[in-house]
Homo-oligomer: A and B are copies of this chain.
C-alpha cells in the first residue's frame, strides 16, 4: 500500500518521484516477497503517477489522441522486499525524444539501502491506428531529464532460441486478465510466463535479472501459446504468441537463494 508521496521538488517539474510502500501479507507471493509481476505493476503505477504530475500523463495524451505504452523493461534485484518490509521506489526520466521516453527506477529499504534498479522504455501510440505516435507535443518534460545513477544494463533484445525445443502450453485470455485499456494486463503476461515453472523453482531461486519486451496487444478471448526454454545455468526465455505473432517475450536469470544477500 502507498503510504507517502514526497516529491523532491515542486509539483510541476518534480524530477524524481517516489513512494513508500509496505508489503502486506495479502500482497506477498508464496515466498513471502514482492512478486515479479508486483514489481512490474509498481513500475507502471509510479510511471503513470509521475507522468500525471508532469502533465504528460494519460489525460494529456488522450486529449492528443495518444496512449502511453510500456515497450521494454529490465530490472536487477539483490533481493525483493519481504513481508512487512517498508520500501521506497523512486523514478526519474533518463532520456526523452519524440519517439520514446526512458524512465529509470531504484528500489531501496527505508534506510536507503539499494535493493535493485529498473530501466523502462515507453512509447506513445495513436489510439486509432495503434501505430507509434510523435511525442513532440510534450517536449517540455525534457527539462526534467536527470543523470541520477542506474547502474544496470538497458533492456536487452530478446529472441527465442531456434535450436532449443521449447515447452509449450495454451492459454485463452479471460475476464480477469483484461485491464482498463481493454488489453491484457502487462503484469498478467509476466505471471503467465513465470507460471511455466514450479513453486519449488522459486523457493530455491530468486530472479536476479528480468527483461521483458512487450510487442503486441492481446485481447479478451485471444488464444495464446506460452513457451519457454531453460538453460543449465538458470536462464529462462519465454514468450507468448497469439495467432502466430509474438505478443511479448521475456528472459530471466534464476540464481540460488543460498548465494543471496
Residues of A within 8 A of B (CB): 1-3, 24-26, 28-30, 32, 35, 37, 41, 44-45, 48-49, 58, 83, 174-176, 178-180, 182, 191, 194-195, 197-199, 202, 220-221
Known: A24-B45, A48-B25. A199 touches B175 (CB 8 A): yes
Contact between A194 and B179, CB atoms less than 8 A apart? no
Copies in the assembly, this chain: 2
CB-contact partner of A26 in B3, B26, B48, B220, under 8 A: B48
Chain B residues within 8 Å of A180, by CB:
25-26, 28-30, 32, 83
Please indicate the chain B residues that have their CB under 8 angstroms from the CB of A199 in the complex: 175, 178, 220-221
B176 near A26: Cβ-Cβ < 8 Å: no
* Closest partner residue, chain B, to A188 (CB atom): B176
- Alpha-carbon gap, A44 to B182, bound state (A): 27
Q: Is the CB of A58 within 8 A of B25?
A: yes
Q: List 21 A-B contacts (CB under 8 A).
A: A1-B1, A1-B2, A1-B45, A24-B45, A24-B48, A26-B44, A26-B45, A29-B176, A29-B178, A29-B179, A30-B179, A30-B182, A32-B180, A35-B176, A175-B191, A175-B194, A175-B195, A175-B198, A176-B194, A198-B221, A199-B221
Q: Which chain B positions have C-beta within 8 A of A48?
A: 24-26
CA distance A214 to B45 in the complex (A): 32
Q: How far is the CA of A66 from the CA of B10 in the complex (A)?
A: 49
CA A109 to CA B26, docked complex, whole Å: 24
Known A2-B1, A25-B48; contact A30-B191, beta-carbon cutoff 8 A? no
